[in-house]
Amino acid sequence: MPKDQFSHVTEWVFDLDNTLYPPHMHLFDQVDRLMTDFVMRATGADHARADHLRKTYWQDYGTTLAGLMAHHQVEPESYLIEVHDIDFSVLQPDPGLRAAIRRLPGRRIVYTNGSAPYARNVIRARGLEGLFDAVYGVEDAGFHPKPTPQAFQRVFAQDGLDPGRAAMFEDDPRNLKVPHELGMRTVLVTPEPLARDFIHYHTDDLTGFLERL
């Protein structure tokens, strides 16, 4: 991986879930369960149907919330509070990741399809507090979810981010297409690689990847 491919980057954008912590910590499993419970109450569906809707809305809209808002007039603020009321003790601080992020030159931000308060709880549990210049949640995008272009446009406009000098780290490949089109370096953070023309790099070790930049 040529280090000079990131030599121009001064703005570093990190997704949150399964990016700033590894999937094996299973934090988002708790959120999935709470989302299914919420879908059951919002739609009157049984558990199996609600779980199917949760997954279908995520696939079709980018988030389960977006599907609920489109089809069931769900009020987003209370949903975000409820589904993120989880046990963060399953996360562990990561001094190596902290050191690698701290060495990155320029601004560092977190942008998640979850809520900003939830993101701050994850950051704190991972021992990464104080590293990021800004934390953005789906509420900052007007509840438009990644991967929609308007979501990125709203958040990046608020931040004043220059895509031509930025890199994006994500576990969901769909969420790297728009950043690539905007001129950002794109890095997929997943256990398995995926070949797409809008993904520049893949890693299953975010800390190791950042240490090589």
Tell me: do 77 and 109 sit in the same domain: no
User: With bands split at pLDDT 50, 70 and 90, how would you rate the model's confidence at 3?
Assistant: confident
The domain total for the chain is: 2
Tell me: do 48 and 136 sit in the same domain: no
Helix axes 76-83, 27-43, angle to 10 degrees: 140
Tell me: do 54 and 38 sit in the same domain: yes
CB 151 within 8 A of CB 139: no
pLDDT in tens, 105-124: 999 999 999 999 999 999 99
Q: Which domain holds residue 153?
A: 3-21+91-211
Q: Of 83, 104, 131, at which residue does a domain stop?
A: 83
DSSP count for the chain of H helices, then E strands? 9, 6
Tell me: do 112 and 57 sit in the same domain: no
Tell me: do 79 and 115 sit in the same domain: no
Tell me: do 31 and 78 sit in the same domain: yes
Tell me: do 105 and 73 sit in the same domain: no
Tell me: do 79 and 172 sit in the same domain: no
Tell me: do 117 and 133 sit in the same domain: yes
Q: Which residue is associated with the tokens 């696939």?
A: 59
pLDDT in tens, 45-99: 999 999 999 999 999 999 999 999 999 999 999 999 999 999 999 999 999 999 9
Query: CB neighbours of 207 closer than 8 A, spacing ≥ 6?
Result: 94, 96, 97, 100
Tell me: do 95 and 167 sit in the same domain: yes
Domain harbouring 108, CATH code? 3.40.50.1000
Domain harbouring 75, CATH code? 1.10.150.450
Answer whether 0.75 is exceeded by the pTM.
yes
